[in-house]
Structure 1
């Protein structure tokens, strides 16, 4: 093999061939391109990393440290910490009866409102996906409340008892539910009817998600099913619903997080109130926030398991004919 060049390795000249030079140039160019792309990628996400470290991770770890301490704030000495171990967490389930009551109400609202929001959003998305006049206008109408309506506006509507439909009040639907059903069922169902307009406002993002999922389904599949004699109901159960499984999962997770963090949530208000309480303060409210976070994470895990888990049918092996 003819030597056409040399390289300095460990202070010694080493002759190299033409193939080795070509390979080295390609390797150097590949490494340079990858390094350049990596630098560009890190530059793009550096702002997000900085924001995550300063605005999310640091407050998260600080609240975890606060939760195992009694935090007092004085004008002269500033913030003082007194370690109390897990006493704050013990007090949550032994002395804070309001939190336990709010937690039961929140779980009841999730059980009742989550499937209704998903069903209503899916039905509206199916209607808006049809070929009707002013379809774009109606899509905008259903999504506008997500942009316009804020927490104070919804709080004002709830205080004025304007979250329900007048026909429900005229027919005394809520009173009938409270008189016939037990308390643990009557409370979330009556809240559902009394806040039906608010629930429709909560459905804007889910409607958009379902619309995106419906538009990805090929119409030829429905045409083939119609040729085979499938009814619209069978097409919905066999084609539409299985195709929207991932969208249902994303919408369910979004709905749980939205209901858990919205300003009308009683647990959020309870944590904010105790934050400025002189007897409990930041330490106890941080422990409350962590317990609430773990419960919401557990609920999200249950929702994901219920929606995403699908038992695969067992297939029998075909026997070979002799």
Structure 2
């Protein structure tokens, strides 16, 4: 009979595994297996019948159709990439600014924190739909007073388009900033005040203290907020590609297999976007440290 010596390290490992075992089982059943099955279906032509799901292997045809036969998907994919490039920096910068302001020694700090986090609580598909229908996601009067036309006349189309897009969607962008503000605020409250005291003794201005003290300390949280923003916007219920996937799921022209192929293409695009942003931020942190 083989006896295993129960060391303290092994006992701690078994204790840890026992705590996460339920999560591992749940992840395998409810996440890992559905993803594998979804990947399998993306190579099939799927027909849902009263007797069950019938599949016919079509190799890469669903993926080819997504890029070569479906102009709507390609158009929405480019729109998504433009949204990520424009919205993520704005969300992160706005969140940092608001967190810096709330972190000051001011009255009603908790009230302001609640106000900026409130949209996260009430934001849902029906709420955003209603806001969009009423035009509540744009700055009031921006088109009435010709601001958009002025920007389009002053700038070339390449620069005017992203600027006008930001003005039209600025309220919607700010609505996605609640969680990021709280993350930055928590990080700011952990910064050692002696660093600022040392910077003031050396003659640093508040602006220099931000760039030399605050920002380097907050860079890990900048990375967290960038990842969170990309994932949150990409998986939002009213995201146009998410809506497109849902429409194709039970379409008689495309079907469930095609919807799975589009979903996997979207997943890979999100992964690439995350990798690019993380790489750029890590490169920034590495160059800043030298």
- Normalized against structure 2, the TM-score is what? 0.91
> Deviations for 1:145-195, whole angstroms, at most 9, x for unmatched residues?
212221220121012211122142443323434555565654544332223
Q: Name the CA distance, whole Å, in 2 between partners of 1:184 and 1:104.
A: 15
1:142 equivalent in structure 2: 116
Match for residue 50 of structure 1?
25
Match of 2:16 in 1: 41
After superposition, where does 1:105-116 map in structure 2 within 5 Å? 105-116=79-90
Post-superposition CA distance 1:50-106 (Å, at most 9, x none): 22112111110011000000000112x321010000011111111111111111111
The RMSD of aligned alpha carbons is: 2.4
Question: Greater relative contact order: 1 or 2 (C-alpha under 8 angstroms, separation 6 or more)?
Answer: 2
* Residue aligned with 2:99, SS: helix
Which of 85, 92, 98 is matched with 1:124 structurally? 98
Distance 1:36 1:221, change over 3 A: closer
Aligned pairs, how many? 289
**Unmatched segments (≥5 aa) in structure 2:** none
Aligned to 1:234: 208
Which residue, 20, 29, 34 being the options, matches 1:59?
34
**Selected match of 2:76 from 91, 102, 123:** 102
**SS of residue paired to 1:72:** strand
Query: Hey, what does 1:18 align to over in structure 2?
Result: none
TM-score normalised to the size of structure 1? 0.83
Greater CA drift, 287-296 or 195-204: 195-204
Alignment correspondent of 2:134 = 160
Q: 1:205 aligns with which of 176, 179, 182?
A: 179
Per the alignment, residue 45 of structure 2 pairs with: 70
Flag structure 1 segments of 5+ consecutive residues without an equivalent.
1-8, 11-23, 316-322
